[in-house]
Amino acid sequence: MARNPTGNRPPSVQAAINKAGSMTALAGIVGVTPAAVRQWRTIPVHHVRAISKALKLPLRELLPERTPATQEARS
């Protein structure tokens, strides 16, 4: 059985990896190892601003679970 190359990564993490060009490039932006990025199930909050600035991605794309529309839907 072929392995899914994106694993079970959520779209926000995969979008950041794609925009950076690779997991290694994304890791370099925030000063962690590629192995650390591989373990992300969400982008750690303390890395969001650096990734957003470096990759010119909107915060809402990196943290979709924290957008007002999503929070309202949960209420």
Query: Where residue 48 sits, what CATH number does that domain have?
Result: 1.10.260.40
> Confidence class of residue 3 from pLDDT cuts 50, 70 and 90?
very low
Q: Give residue 69's pLDDT.
A: 52
pTM: 0.76
Q: Name the nearest CA neighbour of 66 among 54, 55, 49.
A: 49
Residue 72 lies in a domain: no
Question: Which residues does 59 contact at the CB level (< 8 Å), separation at least 6?
Answer: 48, 49, 52
Residue 39 lies in a domain: yes
CA–CA gap between residue 38 and residue 33 (Å, rounded): 9
Residue 29 DSSP code: H
Residue pointed to by tokens 């943290």: 63
Give tens-digit pLDDT for 17-43: 999 999 999 999 999 999 999 999 999
Domain membership of residue 45 as a residue range: 11-66
